[in-house]
Amino acid sequence: MHLLVGLGNPGAKHSRNRHNIGFMAVDEIVRRHSFGPWRKRFEGRCAEGNFDGEKILALKPDTFMNESGRAVGAAVRFYKLEPGDLTVIHDEIDLAPEKVRFKLGGGHAGHNGIRDIAAHIGADFARVRIGVGHPGLKDRVTGHVLDDFSKAELQWVAPLLAAIAEAAPRLAAGDGAGFSNRLAMILAPKEAEPPAQHPGGRDSG
Q: pTM score, two decimals?
A: 0.86
- The pLDDT-based confidence of 54 (bands split at 50, 70, 90) is confident
pLDDT (0 to 100) of residue 138: 81
Active site residues: 19
- Long-range contacts of the stretch 15-19 (C-beta < 8 A, 24+): 16/148, 16/149, 17/145, 17/146, 17/147, 17/148, 17/149, 18/91, 18/132, 18/144, 18/145, 18/146, 18/147, 18/148, 18/149, 19/65, 19/91, 19/132, 19/145, 19/146
**Is CATH 3.40.50.10170 the classification given to domain 2-187?**
no
For the chain, give the percent of residues with pLDDT over 90.
Answer: 55
Per domain, the residue ranges of the chain are: 2-187
pLDDT in tens, 120-164: 999 999 999 999 888 877 888 888 888 888 888 888 999 999 999
pLDDT (0 to 100) of residue 157: 93
Kindly give the pairing relationship between strand 44-51 and strand 39-41. antiparallel
